[in-house]
Amino acid sequence: MPRVFTPVDISKEEKEVRKDYFDRHTPVIICEDHAREGEKFRVKVKLGTEYPHPDDPDHFINYIQLWNRETFLAEVHFAPGALGNKPGHVEVDFYIVPGPVSMNLSAMAACTKHGLWQSESR
Amino acid sequence: MPRVFTPVDISKEEKEVRKDYFDRHTPVIICEDHAREGEKFRVKVKLGTEYPHPDDPDHFINYIQLWNRETFLAEVHFAPGALGNKPGHVEVDFYIVPGPVSMNLSAMAACTKHGLWQSESR
Amino acid sequence: MPRVFTPVDISKEEKEVRKDYFDRHTPVIICEDHAREGEKFRVKVKLGTEYPHPDDPDHFINYIQLWNRETFLAEVHFAPGALGNKPGHVEVDFYIVPGPVSMNLSAMAACTKHGLWQSESR
Amino acid sequence: MPRVFTPVDISKEEKEVRKDYFDRHTPVIICEDHAREGEKFRVKVKLGTEYPHPDDPDHFINYIQLWNRETFLAEVHFAPGALGNKPGHVEVDFYIVPGPVSMNLSAMAACTKHGLWQSESR
């Protein structure tokens, strides 16, 4: 399988160029801490927090996936240009309805130039 | 190509069963009326307004696509169960950054049992 | 919905530039005339017969879909570069197992520059 | 990220039930040993060699991806029923055109019930 990139702790990284590289490729899951069974729950996945990723034809985010443990939930494919070819924080909101079992969400993002990146779990 | 379904005007439909059928399959684009060039713009696509669609293994919404005129922007594939197997309004928020040219957005949605449906344009 | 392109009869087109344009965007289904119930059946979908399509980052075939009447069967997304960035006939073989009912297959292909194209039915 | 399953050596597995489980989930890349630069090259990805996987609405292969090292090449999403709801060896042929650099291909497959599986590299 392709190597999966996992920047362990970006906040401790001191080199600006590496911080930039890690931050703009790492998917981040943004959601409430607690979800209620049977109620719609928004799960935002966003790439990076500070550094925007290019949206060029030869360098863009190809897809973002959302998983709950080993269960695939959803995947969004992007075409370059959705951000108007400007650098930006690629972002998508999924909506799920939790069942009775606790969830463990994770996201994966694929860059056309820099491979496959994983989020921390939520 | 597959036949594409276009309920012309659901509000005029009087038979409850047809209204239900049309409403829960028709993608609806929800966004601000005006977008500013270069600023991130949220485009929500939701299925139906009143009647929720099943989320069963043999009957679920397979994908939703977003287009700007003839340009494909993004597509999200769902696995059954993302809504916890309860009927719900399948929903996703895309984020795009408009360029200098005006847009004409449309959405397509595919049901595993009832084929391909189109939204009105925005 | 996006406009769908359907070149009615390429063979009658006389202008070379239009023939080229139509041919390299139109998906063609290549399969045996008869399929047997319960036996694996190969369905090749290929773009064009004479003129190859570019595989450039800003101009490539984004996806090919296979439908049986109103039923979505499969969809393949490509990243630019799979053809080594050379012009080529984008091609994929799907394998399906027909049931007791006769099929009516069609394919759709999306170009990042020239929109959505449909095949003839098989 | 989701746990990725890698049966190290199926041939040494003695328990029939485990052999079955491993075999029918593991993607296998089938292609010529040598590819020529600039010539179209067929890469078949097939699930398992002996044991067929179900094609039921609540248990099917959701997608197969093809990677070249850290570069995503293509991904095919399936809807249940493409195999006529019979157990079968899910199969797809991709066509790529190798460049001057040697390749290292791998495939990933996602089952709706049993998670994410990786192939050996070719």
Is B58 at the interface with chain D, CB within 8 A?
Answer: yes
* C-alpha distance from A34 to closest chain B C-alpha (Å): 16
Nearest residue, CB atoms, D92 vs list C55, C83, C93:
C93
| Chain C partners within 8 Å of D85 (Cβ) | 99
Is the pLDDT assigned to residue D9 strictly greater than 80? no
Question: In this predicted structure, what is the pLDDT of residue B99?
Answer: 87
Q: How far is C3 from chain B (nearest CA, A)?
A: 6
Q: Please tell me the total number of residues recorded for chain B in this structure.
A: 122
* C106 close contact with B: CB closer than 8 A: yes
**Is the predicted pLDDT of residue A8 greater than 80, yes or no?**
no
Exposure b/e, B24-43, CB count within 10 A at least 16 = b: bbbbbbebeeebeeeebbeb
* Chain A partners within 8 Å of B74 (Cβ): 76-79, 82, 92
pLDDT band at B103 (very low <50, low <70, confident <90, very high): very high
Number of neighbours of residue A61 by Cβ within 10 angstroms: 29
Residue C28 has which token pair?
């063609």
Q: Which helix (H) or strand (E) holds D109?
A: strand D105-111
* ipTM of model: 0.92
Looking at residue A11, what is its pLDDT? 76
Instruction: Give the three-class secondary structure for B95.
Output: strand
Per-residue model confidence (pLDDT) at position C1 = 76
D1 closest CB neighbour out of A71, A112, A118: A118
The CA distance from C50 to D84, in Å, is: 33
**Domains in chain C: boundaries:** 4-118
Give the tens place of pLDDT for each residue, A13-48.
888 888 888 899 999 999 999 999 999 999 999 998
Flag if A108 and D1 touch (Cβ within 8 Å).
Answer: yes
H helix runs in chain D, sequence order: 16-23
Which residue of chain D has the CA closest to B77?
D77
Fold (CATH) for D4-118: Immunoglobulin-like (2.60.40)
Is some CB atom of chain C closer than 8 A to the CB atom of A80?
Answer: yes
